[in-house]
Amino acid sequence: MDKNVVLIGMMGSGKTTIGRELSRKTGMEFIDLDELIERRAAMSIPEIFQTMGEAYFRQLESEVLEEIMSARHAVIATGGGVVLSAENRQRLRELGLVVWLDAPADVLLERIGDDPNRPLLSRSQPLKKLTQLLHERRDLYAETSDIHLDTTELTKDEIVERIIEELEKRSADEDDVFNTIVAIDGPVASGKSSLAKKVAKRLGFFHIDTGAMYRCVTYEAMRRGIPLDDAEALIELAHSLDIRYEEQPGEAPNRVFLNGEDVTEQIRAPEVSRNTSPVADIPGVRTELVRLQRQMALRGRCVLDGRDIGTVVVPEARWKFYVVASLDERVRRRMLQHQQEGHAVDIRQLREDIIERDRRDRIRTHGALRLAPTATILDTTDIPLEEAVEIVASIVAGALALK
């Protein structure tokens, strides 16, 4: 494949060392952004900082990045602060597969040792400074990268192997992004979210829970006291919100961030669930959120779950599933879920809520719950979740030759 690999992360994350090794093993050209900057300025990086200041360094960094946009089949090591500019983040994403080499501040410091060529750390208390920089940049690294690699426990060779594995996984069949998009639709509590979450983990794909976006708009409206029948205000709100998902290690589900605040638990409260249906009915709110969902989906290698994924959000997705389960089973599952999350539940109310939300999901004028023509129906009433995960994941993995 002629894609580039871009390594981002903090100072001390190993971008240059890993980059060189990856280049040696794959035969890809190695480009070190810092080296290009030094050559251009005819000065070392600490000298640039000392004599010209950080702003000048950032300017050179952007210029050099612009110049390498035509690179093909290269491993590119960047400077830790390259993600600070939105324009650069966009450039990095366009360049190729972006790998974030991550590690906690103390590990970074240990790796850096007392290297004098680290201008941003030259003042006292380097651990404090590193912690602060990492805190400031984490979201930007997350937003820019396709792969988040926690390198704390990994050796250099293991990191390089992981990246090569990821590259191989993405080859051939993946040139068509729609081959790597899995759309899972279904009614309330049919198990689609749990299924999507686990299938994504199995395949190493990103899980996009689209219901969480409608919940975020509703939750924020409730907090701000915006009436839930004020369509104009809700559309404006949907447009203005910054909604992101952050991948978690192991089996832990993604966390949902609303304007930078972790609202994963709050948006699941029964009152938010009840109020979300009418908000999701508003065509303008859907337009805003569908745009965001499609944008996220087109990055590929993802599993989306919702009501209108296979029909409206990404009808081109190669993998479409329509998950169903009996009403009794769905009430039982939702009750268990609420109990586990510590929310009080009244089973009769829950049943009525589900019936009402189903009804609204099916009759809304835009984005109604419908079976997409090429979707596979999966009835999960009598099969355990793990089995459903196995069915979906093996179909996709088998066809894409993933592990």
Q: How many CA atoms lie within 13 A of 97 on its CB side?
A: 26
Quick one: 79 or 367, whose CB is closer to ligand DC? 367
- For residue 180, the number of C-alpha atoms closer than 13 Å in the C-beta half-sphere is 23
Nearest CB to ligand DC, comparing residues 119 and 278 = 278
For residue 326, which of 287, 291, 354, 362 has the smallest C-alpha distance? 354
Q: What is the 3-state secondary structure (H, E, C) of 256-315?
A: EEECCEECCCHHHCHHHHHHHHHHHHCHHHHHHHHHHHHHHHCCCCEEEEECCHHHHHCC
Q: Cβ closer to ligand DC: 280 or 402? A: 280
Specify the residue, 97 or 188, whose C-beta has the smaller distance to ligand DC.
188
CB 378 within 8 Å of CB 392: yes
Q: Which is nearer to ligand DC, 81 or 211 (CB)?
A: 211
Give the residues lining the site for ligand DC (CB under 6 A).
188, 193, 210-211, 214-215, 276-277, 280, 306-308, 357, 361, 367
**CB of 259 vs ligand DC, minimal distance in Å:** 19
Residue 137 or 197: the one with the smaller Cβ distance to ligand DC is 197
Distance separating alpha carbons of residues 320 and 310, to the nearest angstrom: 6
Residue among 169 and 334 whose Cβ is closer to ligand DC = 334
Q: How far is the CB of 150 from ligand DC (least distance, A)?
A: 28
- Strand partners for 29: 74
Beta strands in 28-136 (DSSP E): 29-32, 74-77, 96-102
Q: Which residues, in sequence order, are bridge partners of residue 5?
A: 75, 97
Q: What contacts 250, CB < 8 A, 6 or more positions away?
A: none
* Nearer to ligand DC among residue 165 and residue 229 (C-beta): 229
Q: How far is the CB of 273 from ligand DC (least distance, A)?
A: 6
Residue closer to ligand DC, measured from CB, 19 or 367: 367
How many other C-beta atoms lie within 10 A of the C-beta of residue 315?
A: 15
Cβ burial of 377 (10 Å; 0-12, 13-18, 19+) is: exposed
Comparing CA positions, the residue from 254, 25, 8 lying closest to residue 156 is: 25
Find the shortest distance in angstroms from Cβ 223 to ligand DC. 17
Closest distance to ligand DC from the beta carbon of 279 (Å) = 8
Contact 359, 188 (CB under 8 A): no
In the block, residue with structure tokens 């859907």? 286
- Whole-angstrom distance, CA of residue 305 vs CA of residue 396: 16
Q: Minimal distance in Å, beta carbon 268 to ligand DC?
A: 8
CB of 78 to ligand DC, least distance (A): 35
Q: Which is nearer to ligand DC, 8 or 188 (CB)?
A: 188
Shortest distance in whole angstroms from residue 255 CB to ligand DC = 15
- The residue whose two tokens read 């805190």 is 135
Minimal distance, residue 357 CB to ligand DC, in Å: 5
Min. distance of Cβ 364 from ligand DC in angstroms?
7
Residue tagged 């994504």 (tokens): 200
Going by their DSSP bridges, the two strands 255-258 and 74-77 should be labelled as unpaired
For 366, phi and psi rounded to 5 degrees? Answer: -115, 135
Task: Tell me the closest approach of the beta carbon of residue 389 to ligand DC, in angstroms.
Answer: 18
Q: Which is nearer to ligand DC, 144 or 276 (CB)?
A: 276
